[in-house]
Structure 1
Amino acid sequence: MRVVQVQRGEPTGVVTDPGSQQTLRWSSVVETLDRHDIPDGLPFVIDEDGSLTGCDKLNTYLLTAWRQRAYDLRSLRNFHAYHLARLLRFVRARNGGASVDLTATTTEDLTAYRDARQEEVQSTTLATEFGCFASFFYFATQVGWMQRDPIPRWGRNNRNTLISHTRRDRQARFLKAAQTKYFLEAGLRGDGYDPAGAPSYPERDYAYGLLLATTGLRREECAYLLDAEVPAPGTMDAESVHVFDRLGKKQVTRSIYITPQVAHAVDLYRQTERRCMVLAAQGRLRSKVSSGTLLVVDDIIERRGKRYVAIGSQRIPMATFSNQQRMKAVRMLDDGTIDPLALFVSRSGLPPGLERWNQLFTDARERVQSTGHHDQPPSHVHVTPHTMRHSYAVRMLAALMAGGRSRQGGPYQLLANPVLTVKQLLGHASVETTMHYLHAAETWTEDVPAALSATTADLVGHTESDPGPDAEAAAQDGASDSDPQNGVVW
């Protein structure tokens, strides 16, 4: 099951109806979309075989919600379609894989879903998901699809009793440098494992995890990075840091910093696994280009230090190029090769879905949990892509605070406020969100790197220009089991 979206493109070529296997001209498909006033960007859910039958009611709900202006397209894409599709997959799994409709959901299904998800996500995230569910089930009962709402409620305010409305204190969900390094190498890259249990694309998975851990990117932001956004190491000197802008959550644009060590790790994946996957996928990519399902761009150009994606007469700033565009954007190279703009690709030649990255982290957790290694993540930390963002925030905040203490009384002290700096690095809309990391950073007392490059070196490895073994030992001292990780509310 996949979440896709309407995209007209150029009205050329043909498309095959997966249900009847009839061939339709793409222009007639576009005419149908226009006649029913269906906008580009509207999400809809399809089964793996391309059919819509089992998702018909869910797609009707999404279209009706947009037509009645209940939610905007961005909210429908990023929240409602995504969470409802995940619930439908869960319900079908509980029904033995049968292609049931979302209206088959029972209270028992929702309770089981809650119990499974609350071990993986924060209570606020789970509340967001159940908010999407509540909207669908209310609509389904109103139009007669369901006899009753499966969400149990109480009182005159119809309070959802499946979700706790109290905040929970949690232990700090971050990894220290040595723990992060071990998870990246042994978990995601599979170092030291039998080839039968190793990941299929170890350098890709490692590069993805490393970018999360050294930039603070969110899972989706990192998954849809463009290849052009991460430079080749040959274009950087040993002391330089590459900077580019990335549009994130709540339309906040922030600067992302890439060090030479990270660029080198990404380039190893780029020159090996990515190159092989793109070449092997040429037939599938060419078919998608012919059917008009991909976004073919002319080139990536640079003007006055800023990069743009050129599509005909359009010049779209790379920073504002949407994730939906990044997922399907390709360009034709001079030798005729179809090259995806995305950095991370799968066997299809296009980026893996977000659920695939979740599964890769699940596999990585299973690899490291059985080792008993002293640097494996602590039992209370359920490592997900977002854990890498937490870890980056705590390490950077602690490093900046340590640097600030050494500059006490300096003339630029107020300009280098660590909390405000990390707020900008993470793209938080409110400083209150960043303050959640402050207690963890204050209680993390080991000697931490003083700058971003040093932090990255702890994860990737050291070069001849790095400090000597005594300094390295001091930086790794915090990996001991005796160092406390105190509780913090995320």
Structure 2
Amino acid sequence: MSLDRAIDAYLRHISIERGLSEHTVAAYRRDLARYAGWLAAHGVDDPAAVTAELVAAFVAEQAGAEQRPAATSLARLQSSVRGLHRFLAREGLAADDPARRLRPPKTPQRLPKALTIAQVEALLDAAGPAPGDAVDTDIVRLRDRALLELLYATGGRVSEIVALDVDDLAHGEVLRVRGKGDKERIVPVGSYARAAVEAYLTRARPELSSRGRPTPRLFLGARGAPLSRQSAWLVIRQAAERAGLHAHVSPHTLRHSFATHLLQGGADVRVVQELLGHASVATTQIYTHVSVEALRDVYVTSHPRAR
């Protein structure tokens, strides 16, 4: 089996059998194309001919390159290579796993940036309709407000929220979200988000839907097609500009803010883990560090003998 066919088989495996998202599969495809290109330049096209020395040389060259990938991208690149060779050895397509001793690099732990509650409120207000808006603008702004309210109310990933169907809003009070690996979770929806979504469904979605082909998707673009992740990004960026928020604001910023505000309000970390859809509580615990940092900042600026 050629290396290209082996990579195709592995990508089908992680997509169909492991249920990884299309975005993750696309990232692995790019990583392994880079790896295959490097091996081809070294005269290797047979996965059975790859040695531990070749794997180590590839990783060392990527890490030492003048335009080396970011630490997180480098870690994912190594994960792609490890996964490929582990799959080939397990399926009997290669006699050995030359990447079995490869250890992922340590990536710096960056604390997520969360907005204050006042900043979130300003962002949400800026997304919604304003007096004097034209009819078309009013329709789009109703959608934008519902989108941002739902992102903040549920802590959902932008890919999860734009993939929602109207039927995923069970009675309006809870949301059925399909997360990574196609795992479903149920998330409550607060009253503000429910009201914003109801206004969008009643006053905006019927008009947007009439402009395109019928679709069950909840959020639609200006021409009636399902709203894309890129368009959702643009919605948030424009709302942030109107709100005068100069810090970088992304869909994930609202997810970070959701988790941080819950923990600051006294929520148990395991409840937050369930709501975010994290497989491990260790992933969620990064937000406890954010809350501790906020407490420390308040202490340092408020206590007369703290500095």
- TM-score, normalised by the number of residues in structure 2: 0.66
Which residue is 1:227 aligned to? 166
Cα separation, 2, equivalents of 1:230 and 1:75: 24
1:438 partnered with 2:293 = no
Cα separation, 2, equivalents of 1:220 and 1:156: 31
Cα separation, 1, equivalents of 2:4 and 2:170: 39
1:358 partnered with 2:233 = yes
The alpha-carbon distance between structure 1 residues 430 and 68, as it changes in their structure 2 partners (threshold 3 A), is closer
Cα separation, 1, equivalents of 2:5 and 2:59: 30
Structure 1 residue 273, shift from structure 2 partner:
1.7
Structure 1 residue 171, shift from structure 2 partner:
5.5
Q: Return 5+ residue gaps in structure 2 as ranges.
A: 42-55, 72-105, 303-307
Give the structure with the larger helix fraction: 2
Which residue is 1:470 aligned to? none
Which residue is 1:163 aligned to? 69
Q: Return 5+ residue gaps in structure 1 as ranges.
A: 1-60, 82-128, 145-152, 234-241, 286-337, 370-376, 402-417, 446-477, 484-490
| Secondary structure in structure 1 of the residue aligned to 2:221 | coil
Cα separation, 2, equivalents of 1:263 and 1:163: 42
Aligned positions of 1:174-253 closer than 5 A = 174-186=114-126, 188-189=127-128, 191=130, 201-230=140-169, 242-253=173-184
| Secondary structure in structure 1 of the residue aligned to 2:113 | coil
Cα contact 1:252–1:429 (8 A) shared by 2? no
The alpha-carbon distance between structure 1 residues 279 and 69, as it changes in their structure 2 partners (threshold 3 A), is closer
Cα separation, 2, equivalents of 1:432 and 1:189: 36
Over residues 368-402 of structure 1, what are the superposed CA-to-partner deviations in whole Å (9 max), with x where a residue is unaligned? 33xxxxxxx4x5x411011101100011112125x
Q: Which of the numbers 241, 250, 260 marks the counterpart of 1:384?
A: 250
Which residue is 2:8 aligned to? 66
Which residue is 1:272 aligned to? 203
Structure 1 residue 211, shift from structure 2 partner:
0.4
- TM-score, normalised by the number of residues in structure 1: 0.43
Cα separation, 1, equivalents of 2:10 and 2:111: 43
Structure 1 residue 223, shift from structure 2 partner:
0.8
Over residues 6-50 of structure 1, what are the superposed CA-to-partner deviations in whole Å (9 max), with x where a residue is unaligned? xxxxxxxxxxxxxxxxxxxxxxxxxxxxxxxxxxxxxxxxxxxxx
The alpha-carbon distance between structure 1 residues 157 and 224, as it changes in their structure 2 partners (threshold 3 A), is same
Cα separation, 2, equivalents of 1:266 and 1:425: 19
Cα separation, 2, equivalents of 1:347 and 1:222: 17
Which residue is 1:262 aligned to? 193
| Secondary structure in structure 1 of the residue aligned to 2:210 | helix
Structure 1 residue 185, shift from structure 2 partner:
1.6
Aligned positions of 1:65-214 closer than 5 A = 65-67=7-9, 71-73=13-15, 74-75=19-20, 77-81=22-26, 129=27, 132-140=29-37, 157-160=60-63, 161=65, 162-165=68-71, 167-168=107-108, 170=110, 172-186=112-126, 188-189=127-128, 191=130, 201-214=140-153
Paired residues in the alignment total: 242
The alpha-carbon distance between structure 1 residues 262 and 366, as it changes in their structure 2 partners (threshold 3 A), is closer
The alpha-carbon distance between structure 1 residues 231 and 271, as it changes in their structure 2 partners (threshold 3 A), is farther
Structure 1 residue 178, shift from structure 2 partner:
1.1
What amino acid sits opposite 2:274 in the alignment?
Answer: Q
Aligned positions of 1:337-376 closer than 5 A = 338=214, 340-369=215-244
Aligned positions of 1:289-328 closer than 5 A = none
The alpha-carbon distance between structure 1 residues 199 and 172, as it changes in their structure 2 partners (threshold 3 A), is farther
What amino acid sits opposite 1:134 in the alignment?
Answer: D
The alpha-carbon distance between structure 1 residues 62 and 212, as it changes in their structure 2 partners (threshold 3 A), is farther
Over residues 200-237 of structure 1, what are the superposed CA-to-partner deviations in whole Å (9 max), with x where a residue is unaligned? 7111111111101011111111111121233677xxxx
1:420 partnered with 2:292 = no
| Secondary structure in structure 2 of the residue aligned to 1:400 | coil
Structure 1 residue 65, shift from structure 2 partner:
3.5
| Secondary structure in structure 1 of the residue aligned to 2:204 | helix
Structure 1 residue 176, shift from structure 2 partner:
1.6
| Secondary structure in structure 2 of the residue aligned to 1:158 | helix
Over residues 296-355 of structure 1, what are the superposed CA-to-partner deviations in whole Å (9 max), with x where a residue is unaligned? xxxxxxxxxxxxxxxxxxxxxxxxxxxxxxxxxxxxxxxxxx4x2111012443312211
Cα separation, 2, equivalents of 1:350 and 1:180: 28
Cα contact 1:218–1:389 (8 A) shared by 2? yes
Cα separation, 2, equivalents of 1:156 and 1:397: 39
| Aligned-CA RMSD value | 3.6
Structure 1 residue 266, shift from structure 2 partner:
0.6
